[in-house]
Amino acid sequence: MANVIGASLKRKEDPRLLTGNGRFSDDIQLPGMLHAVILRSPHAHAKIKKIHAEEALKSQGVVAVYTGKDLEGKIGPVPSSWLVPDANLKEAPQYPLAIDYVRYVGDGVALIIAEDRYVARDALDLIEVEYEVLPAVVHQKEAMQEGVPLVHGDIENNIALHWKAGEVADEIINDAEVVVRESFYVQRVFPSPLETRAAIGQYDAGSGELTLWCTSQNPHIHRMVLSDVLGISEAKLRVIAPDMGGGFGGKIGVYPDEALVGYAARDLKRPVKWIEQRSEHFTASNAGRDEIIDVELAGKRDGTLLAIRVKNTANLGAYLSTMGPGVATIDFGLMITGAYDIPHASCETFGVYTNTTPTDAYRGAGKPEATYQIERIIDLYAREIGMDPIELRRKNFVRKEAFPYTNAQGLLYDSGDYEKPLEKALETLNYEELRQKQRELSKQGKLIGIGFSTYVELCGFGPSEVAGAIGFQGGVWENSTVRVHPSGKVTVYCGTSPHGQGHATTFGQVVAEKLGIPMDDIELVFSDTKSISMGWGTYGSRSTAVGGAAVSIAADRVVEKAKKIAAHELEASEEDIVFENGKFQVKGVPGQQRTFQEIAKSANMAWNLPEGMEPSLEAQSFFKPENFVYPFGTHAAVVEIDKDTGEIELKRYVCVDDVGRVINPLTAEGQVHGGIAQGVGQALWEGAVYSKDGQLLSGTLMDYALPKARFFPRIESAFTETPSPVNPLGAKGVGETGTTASIAAVMNAVMDALKPYNVKDIEMPLTSEKVWRAIQDGEGN
């Protein structure tokens, strides 16, 4: 099958999902299965004085109740997997159930196991906990002040980490012709996959093997961490991620809950299922963002940018999550110059403990925040010097000729042509005419805004040496095995773990193209630590660039061996064999050929192989990329604001993304759309709201607004293709571009619309009331 790469094929994974034949966690039923619920703290900060579980234990159908004290010494704390170096990192142990203190609303207090989910839920009400409520701290800047409550008694000023990268001398800022300063808050949001988290444990007492089905974007990381937490050999712990209803970063984390389920299944020697409730999800699952970003951008009046100095104060919540420490530091701090050639840059990050749910990587992880601050401040800079924001961007873009380009923070951007998507987006928008129309409508009193985000992001995690150097507790290379069966049908094993991205299709396309066989002949296996030797999972838009590359290399190796066998059988030299459309052909001798299927059989039968060749046709590759990949593009939003109410209507959304080589344009576009919806969601509707004492007020889907269909216009999406030199596919990553770009695009559009009132910032989400107030308080009113 030629030209499969680049084709908009329908997805292999869909027919089963469309007919109710998917197998999600809660669909799994095992004989004798018990049901778990977790009693969670209603207080943001309290001392646990006593837990009365007797009533619950007496209740019919209740099998066990565990408290933190019961598990002391039997199950270890769940560690963070990103120990950022040179940051004075202070990790407080997070025990799967709180032992003496609860530190956020949602902190686990007791685990209840019962015969049935209804009985388990009833038992939750029968447990009485005596708390001594303590003062709580919610806001990160407040948490750093003297005299405020300490989340962990021994960690001063609640500072979990203090990290710096780059240096900008004071003189550069002080002597600059123009300095624009602003403080942005990229608010806390919830990843909110439509399927909440879940875990099911099953222990085989005979073999001593524990199988854990759980909602994980990275089952091998779960296995690595949990084997340690539970004290079980990695060889005896099998982690399977079943079909998963989205993740968006919220299912990267190794959570206490999964450890508890594994422990209980082993302890009780019966299968145990735990399904998180939606309202539970809001407090018990890691949130995203929550960073206060103070920016100074300095340069010349002609638009030449010289330096950017950033301080990020990040709310890490009550404990360090799996990737939490890396988000506001490495992911954010090294990308603050964005797509611009700014010679000087520095970032100082404080990671702060508060009495809130931990934060972790959420779609884009640090890059949406980095993009947000640079794209917002660059618009303000343009306004300050009276230049069109597009012109200012063009003036400072990293030039096409400069790639590979080292940014001020030392990252090497692999490839790029930033003008190309910008031009295409402007053309689609009909930019000049649109500005003209904006001016005309403004005369009629209408508030139209046009906003841009010309982003670049870092993804495709990543070179292992770099991972080590930045304290990431993982190798982040990828692994794939391409196994050819005697019939010529193929099974492909992959270390990444898709949950909606469609990798069975896109990786299948890579294999179909390489092996010249039909898509239907290819099966893909993901997300099972017993089938797949190792892998690092799906997050950070790494799957295609790293995992897809591993698949591609393994497939090449299969062809290489098959070619040797074909040459041997056809009595030709290997150099004379051409492999095309699934056939090994002797150059210039028509009819002298073997099909891929014939060679598959030969290899597996091994009746007549070249001297010294091992039987079978199978290849494994371990791909360790030499660098990250850097997708880029231009997103533009057009909004209209209702002057009387502050309501915002998103009128148009245009995006041109360059994600390197596109394997499947249809699924790639789907990723972009979804990403945009989440970014626009952050800009306009989504936002966690805590009361001063740490109660989550936006704790249900009645209060927390996930974007709905009628909030959007038709997105006008396109791609340009600038291949990456980093991997054999030339692919970058597409999963996060939409989110990374769109937050700033929409905000810039709204700020543009509010320019007549000289409004410079409004805290997200842009509720109509906030916009209305900004208009009321604005100039000219």
Partner 1 sequence: MAIEDREVTVVVNGQERSAAVEPRKLLVHYLRDDLGLTGTHIGCDTSQCGACSIMVNGEAVKSCTMLAVQAEGSEITTVEGLGSIEHLHPMQQSFWEEHGLQCGYCTPGVIMAMLGLLKENPNPSEEEIREGMEGVICRCTGYQFIVSAVQKAAKLMAEAEEQKEETLVANLVREGTHNG
Partner 2 sequence: MIPVKFDYIHAESVEQAIRLQQESNGEGKLIAGGHSLLPLMKFRLTEPGVLIDISRISQLKEVRKEGDRIVVGALTTHHAASNDPVIKEHIPLLADTVRQIGDLQVRNRGTIGGNIAHADPAADLPAAAFALDAQVIIQGEDGEETMPVDQFIVGPLITMMPENSIVTAVSFAIPPRHTRSVYLKYFHPASGYPVVGVAAIAGVDESGVIDFVRIGITGVGDIAYRAESVEQTLLGQTPSEAMIQEASRLAAEEGEMGNDFFTSSEYREHLCKVYTERALRSILLAN
Residues that bind partner 1 (CB under 8 A): 10-11, 13-24, 26-27, 29, 117-118, 192-196, 243-246, 248, 277-279, 499-502, 666-667, 669-671, 673-678, 700-702, 706-710, 712, 714-715, 738
- Best CA proximity match to 339, nearest among 376, 371, 301, 387: 371
Q: Which is nearer to partner 1, 80 or 538 (CB)?
A: 538
Residue type, 107: D
Residue 585 partner contact from partner 2, partner 1, none using kind-dependent CB cut-offs of 5 to 8 Å: none
Residue 644 partner contact from partner 2, partner 1, none using kind-dependent CB cut-offs of 5 to 8 Å: partner 2
Torsions phi, psi for 457 (to 5 deg):
-135, 160
Q: Which is nearer to partner 1, 481 or 541 (CB)?
A: 541
Q: Which is nearer to partner 1, 67 or 667 (CB)?
A: 667
Whether residue 219 is preceded by a cis peptide bond, meaning omega within 30 degrees of 0, is no
Q: Structure tokens of 167?
A: 């240096």
Residue 672: in which H helix or E strand, if any?
helix 665-684
Helix, strand or coil for residue 178? strand
Minimum CB separation of residue 529 from partner 1 in Å reads: 21
Q: What is the DSSP string of 127-168?
A: -EEEEEE------HHHHTSTTSPPSSTTSGGGEEEEEEEE--
Q: Which is nearer to partner 2, 681 or 735 (CB)?
A: 681
Minimum CB separation of residue 580 from partner 1 in Å reads: 30
Q: Which is nearer to partner 2, 609 or 688 (CB)?
A: 688
Residue 723 partner contact from partner 1, partner 2, none using kind-dependent CB cut-offs of 5 to 8 Å: none
Residue 499 partner contact from partner 1, partner 2, none using kind-dependent CB cut-offs of 5 to 8 Å: partner 1
What distance in Å separates the CA atoms of residue 758 and residue 777, rounded to the nearest whole number?
10
- Is the separation of the CB atoms in 34 and 268 below 8 Å? yes
Cα distances (angstroms) measured from residue 279 to each of 111, 346, 414, 497, 699:
17, 39, 42, 26, 6
Minimum CB separation of residue 675 from partner 1 in Å reads: 8
Q: Which is nearer to partner 1, 10 or 269 (CB)?
A: 10
Minimum CB separation of residue 694 from partner 2 in Å reads: 14
Q: Which is nearer to partner 2, 59 or 304 (CB)?
A: 59
- Is the separation of the CB atoms in 739 and 363 below 8 Å? yes
Q: Work out the angle at residue 483's Cα, subtended by the Cα atoms of residues 5 and 602, and round it to the nearest 5 degrees.
A: 105
Q: Which is nearer to partner 2, 277 or 487 (CB)?
A: 277
What distance in Å separates the CA atoms of residue 341 and residue 338, rounded to the nearest whole number?
8
Q: Which is nearer to partner 2, 403 or 772 (CB)?
A: 772
Minimum CB separation of residue 329 from partner 1 in Å reads: 27
Minimum CB separation of residue 711 from partner 1 in Å reads: 8
Minimum CB separation of residue 511 from partner 2 in Å reads: 41
Residue 605 partner contact from partner 1, partner 2, none using kind-dependent CB cut-offs of 5 to 8 Å: none
Q: Which is nearer to partner 1, 283 or 627 (CB)?
A: 283
- Is the separation of the CB atoms in 120 and 37 below 8 Å? yes
Cα distances (angstroms) measured from residue 626 to each of 311, 334, 468, 631, 728:
30, 18, 14, 16, 12
Residue 752 partner contact from partner 2, partner 1, none using kind-dependent CB cut-offs of 5 to 8 Å: none
Residue 677 partner contact from partner 2, partner 1, none using kind-dependent CB cut-offs of 5 to 8 Å: partner 1
What distance in Å separates the CA atoms of residue 316 and residue 356, rounded to the nearest whole number?
8
Residue 121 partner contact from partner 1, partner 2, none using kind-dependent CB cut-offs of 5 to 8 Å: partner 2
Residue 748 partner contact from partner 1, partner 2, none using kind-dependent CB cut-offs of 5 to 8 Å: none
Minimum CB separation of residue 454 from partner 1 in Å reads: 21
Minimum CB separation of residue 680 from partner 2 in Å reads: 12
Q: Structure tokens of 402?
A: 């400069």
Minimum CB separation of residue 485 from partner 2 in Å reads: 46
Q: Which is nearer to partner 1, 50 or 710 (CB)?
A: 710
What distance in Å separates the CA atoms of residue 471 and residue 273, rounded to the nearest whole number?
34
Residue 500 partner contact from partner 1, partner 2, none using kind-dependent CB cut-offs of 5 to 8 Å: partner 1
Q: Which is nearer to partner 1, 25 or 396 (CB)?
A: 25
Minimum CB separation of residue 669 from partner 1 in Å reads: 8
Q: Which is nearer to partner 1, 195 or 291 (CB)?
A: 195
Torsions phi, psi for 306 (to 5 deg):
-115, -40
Q: Which is nearer to partner 1, 280 or 417 (CB)?
A: 280
Minimum CB separation of residue 58 from partner 1 in Å reads: 17
Q: Which residues pair with 359 in a beta bridge?
A: 287
Residue 245 partner contact from partner 2, partner 1, none using kind-dependent CB cut-offs of 5 to 8 Å: partner 1
Q: Is 145 exposed, middle or buried (0-12, 13-18, 19+ CB in 10 A)?
A: exposed
Whether residue 765 is preceded by a cis peptide bond, meaning omega within 30 degrees of 0, is yes
Residue 667 partner contact from partner 2, partner 1, none using kind-dependent CB cut-offs of 5 to 8 Å: partner 1
The string over 572-592, giving b where at least 16 C-beta atoms fall within 10 Å of a residue's C-beta and e elsewhere, is beeeebebeebbbbbeeeeeb
DSSP letter for 79, please: -
Q: What is the DSSP string of 297-343?
A: EEE-TTS-EEEEEEEEEEEEESS--SSHHHIIIIIHHTSTTTTB--S
The string over 109-118, giving b where at least 16 C-beta atoms fall within 10 Å of a residue's C-beta and e elsewhere, is bbbbbbbebe
Any alpha helices (H) in 400-540, and if so which ranges? 419-429, 431-443, 464-469, 503-515
Cα distances (angstroms) measured from residue 105 to each of 44, 136, 321:
5, 10, 16
Minimum CB separation of residue 704 from partner 1 in Å reads: 10
What distance in Å separates the CA atoms of residue 219 and residue 479, rounded to the nearest whole number?
14
Q: Which residues pair with 383 in a beta bridge?
A: none
Q: Which is nearer to partner 2, 467 or 650 (CB)?
A: 650
Residue 697 partner contact from partner 1, partner 2, none using kind-dependent CB cut-offs of 5 to 8 Å: partner 2
Residue type, 746: V
Q: Structure tokens of 12?
A: 């292999």
What distance in Å separates the CA atoms of residue 303 and residue 492, rounded to the nearest whole number?
52
Minimum CB separation of residue 773 from partner 2 in Å reads: 8
Residue 27 partner contact from partner 1, partner 2, none using kind-dependent CB cut-offs of 5 to 8 Å: partner 1
Residue 236 partner contact from partner 1, partner 2, none using kind-dependent CB cut-offs of 5 to 8 Å: none
Residue 357 partner contact from partner 2, partner 1, none using kind-dependent CB cut-offs of 5 to 8 Å: none
Minimum CB separation of residue 236 from partner 2 in Å reads: 35
Residue 645 partner contact from partner 2, partner 1, none using kind-dependent CB cut-offs of 5 to 8 Å: partner 2
Minimum CB separation of residue 774 from partner 2 in Å reads: 12
Minimum CB separation of residue 116 from partner 1 in Å reads: 9
Q: Which is nearer to partner 1, 193 or 547 (CB)?
A: 193
Q: Which is nearer to partner 1, 28 or 155 (CB)?
A: 28
Q: Which positions lie near partner 2, rule CB under 8 A?
A: 117-118, 121-122, 125, 277-279, 644-645, 647, 685, 689, 697-698, 701-706, 708, 711, 767-769, 772-773
What distance in Å separates the CA atoms of residue 371 and residue 740, rounded to the nearest whole number?
7
- Is the separation of the CB atoms in 331 and 371 below 8 Å? no
